[in-house]
Every structure is written in C-alpha cells, then in structure tokens.
C-alpha cells in the first residue's frame, strides 16, 4: 500500500509561483513506475497536469502548463515536487498527487489508470 500526502498549496497572485510537495510512504518511489500530478477545479473533471515515468525517464506535461510547471522527484526522500510558475487564475484547483505501478504512455493523463491518490491541496490564484 502507498500513502501520498500533498502540501504547499495556498493563495497566490497571478504571475506568482508555488511549489507543491508530495510525500510518499509505504513504498519507495523508485518502485512506482509513474508519479502524476492532477488537478480538479469546481464543476470540472479531474485533469492530468504532469507525470514522471520511471519506465522511460521522461516527464510529461499537459499543454496548458508546458513551460510554466515542472515536476521533479527525490527518491532518497520519497518526495515528488510540482513547481508552478507564472500562475494564472485558471490554474485554481485542488491539486492531487497520484501514483501507479505501471506506465501507460500517451494515456498518462487518465485518472482511472492510477492506483494511489493523495487527499489534495488547494491552489487559488487570485488578486
């Protein structure tokens, strides 16, 4: 079993930055093939933001965040991070960390493919 706990959310002005953290316990991150970040805004479906694949060593991003967000992981600390820059009001959502034993290639953004989820952390971008 894997437990994921997100932190780092909050209120930030447009153009600002935040770094979200995801702490994993129960299993070393190195054994999990895919670590993903998702978000869900009120009234909208959960959407994939980024994922890191141990299978091919690549990081994938949604078009809406490319060039602004970056994800990294520290296997020694069992931590995953999402650095969010140039934030926009439309980035407002609850952000979730997720993990999967497998990697699904171009389908990485589908929430149904992930085995474990954190409780989420609220990010609000407003002036």
What is d(CA 63, CA 115) in angstroms, rounded to the nearest whole number? 24
Q: What is the mean pLDDT of residues 77-102?
A: 95
**DSSP code per residue over 56-90:** T--EEE-TTTTTTEEEEEETTTTEEEEEE-S--GG
Q: What is the mean pLDDT of residues 73-93?
A: 94
pLDDT band with cut points at 50, 70 and 90 for residue 1: confident
Tell me: pLDDT of 32 over 90.
no
Q: What are phi and psi of 54, to 5 degrees?
A: -75, -20
pLDDT band with cut points at 50, 70 and 90 for residue 97: very high
């Amino acid at each position: 079993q894997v437990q994921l706990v997100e932190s780092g959310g909050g209120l930030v002005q447009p153009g600002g930055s935040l770094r979200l953290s995801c702490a994993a316990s129960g299993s070393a991150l190195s054994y999990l093939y895919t670590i993903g970040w998702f978000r869900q805004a009120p009234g909208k479906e959960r959407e994939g933001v980024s994922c890191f694949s141990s299978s091919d060593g690549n990081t994938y991003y949604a078009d809406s965040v490319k060039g602004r967000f970056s994800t990294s992981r520290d296997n020694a600390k069992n931590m995953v991070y999402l650095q969010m820059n140039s934030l926009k009001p439309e980035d407002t959502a609850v952000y979730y960390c997720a993990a999967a034993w497998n990697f699904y290639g171009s389908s990485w953004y589908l929430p149904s493919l992930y085995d474990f989820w954190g409780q989420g952390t609220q990010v609000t971008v407003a002036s």
